[in-house]
């Protein structure tokens, strides 16, 4: 079930606020009956009309996408840069990314047209683990990275403790490969946490989201999620 104004907005008829105006003005019908109250819930089987014109409700779709570096995590960009949805030209549904990965961060990104699914995964009270692998400047050690396991203050805000593992170090090149697991999604969080420990990030990739892993996907490729994968993701959220 979704709010009526949300369904109208998602169908591309108008913005959500404008859709609310249409409802209160009596321009919207649900199953042949005029609806004037905001907050009415509808489902996929309900027939919705705006100004006597039926709107099409898309079936929900769910994808796992391997975002390359240099791609914007958005459905559009006012600077005409490459965005995630540029890779979904064969998809008829109006999809968008769940959350975001930084412009220069690659890896696993969920893409959908299901707003409720997206909001549940992104809600700050929900704790879905996300696993990143970073190439950092400097030779990492457990001692130096130990602050990651406690509540750090990043840009004036407390962040939840993370788990880390040092995958490799190169004393000659003075670099390290570090794996970091977090369940929040603040802007530049992984980069800022590692930088606070003295290890600026050179490259960053998200390898897992909950139980999902990139598997055989290559940058720019995507695949549909199976129903059991979607259900398990929702089960992994904790309130």
* pLDDT confidence band for 237 (50 / 70 / 90): confident
* pLDDT confidence band for 172 (50 / 70 / 90): very high
- Identify the CA nearest to 205 among candidates 171, 186, 184, 178: 178
Which DSSP helix (H) or strand (E) runs through 236? helix 227-236
pLDDT given for residue 117 in this prediction: 87
Instruction: Report pLDDT digits (tens) over 60-103.
Output: 899 999 999 999 999 889 899 999 999 999 988 889 999 899 99
Instruction: Report pLDDT digits (tens) over 33-64.
Output: 999 999 899 987 899 999 999 987 778 899 99
- Identify the CA nearest to 100 among candidates 213, 184, 224, 185: 185
Which residue ranges form the domains of the chain, and what is each CATH number?
Answer: 2-54 (3.10.290.10), 62-125+211-236 (3.30.70.580), 130-209 (3.30.70.1560)
Instruction: Report pLDDT digits (tens) over 8-22.
Output: 887 767 778 899 999
Query: 100: Cβ–Cβ under 8 A, 6 or more apart, which residues?
Result: 73, 74, 109
Instruction: Report pLDDT digits (tens) over 175-225.
Output: 999 999 999 878 899 999 999 999 999 999 999 999 999 999 999 999 999
- pTM listed for this prediction: 0.82
What residues are annotated to the active site? Answer: 102
């Amino acid at each position: 079930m979704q709010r009526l104004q949300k369904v109208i907005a998602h169908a591309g008829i108008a913005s959500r606020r404008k859709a609310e105006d249409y409802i209160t003005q009596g321009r919207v019908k649900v199953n042949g009956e005029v609806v004037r109250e905001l907050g009415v819930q509808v489902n996929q089987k309900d027939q919705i009309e705006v100004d006597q014109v039926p709107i099409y409700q898309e079936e929900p779709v769910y994808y796992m996408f391997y975002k390359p570096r240099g791609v914007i995590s958005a459905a559009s960009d006012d600077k005409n840069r490459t965005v995630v949805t540029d890779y979904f030209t064969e998809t008829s549904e109006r999809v968008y990314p769940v959350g975001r990965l930084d412009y220069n961060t690659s890896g696993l990104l969920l893409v959908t047209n299901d707003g409720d699914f997206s909001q549940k995964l992104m809600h700050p009270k929900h704790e879905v683990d996300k696993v990143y692998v970073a190439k950092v400047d400097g030779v990492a050690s457990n001692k130096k990275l130990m602050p990651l396991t406690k509540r750090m203050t990043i840009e004036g805000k407390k962040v939840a403790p993370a788990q880390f593992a040092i995958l490799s170090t190169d004393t000659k090149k003075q670099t390290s490969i570090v794996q970091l697991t977090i369940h929040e999604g603040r802007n530049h969080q992984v980069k800022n946490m590692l930088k606070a420990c003295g290890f600026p990030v050179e490259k960053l990739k998200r390898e897992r989201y909950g139980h999902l892993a990139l598997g055989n996907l290559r940058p720019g490729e995507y695949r549909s999620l199976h129903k059991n994968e979607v259900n398990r993701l929702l089960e992994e959220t904790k309130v």
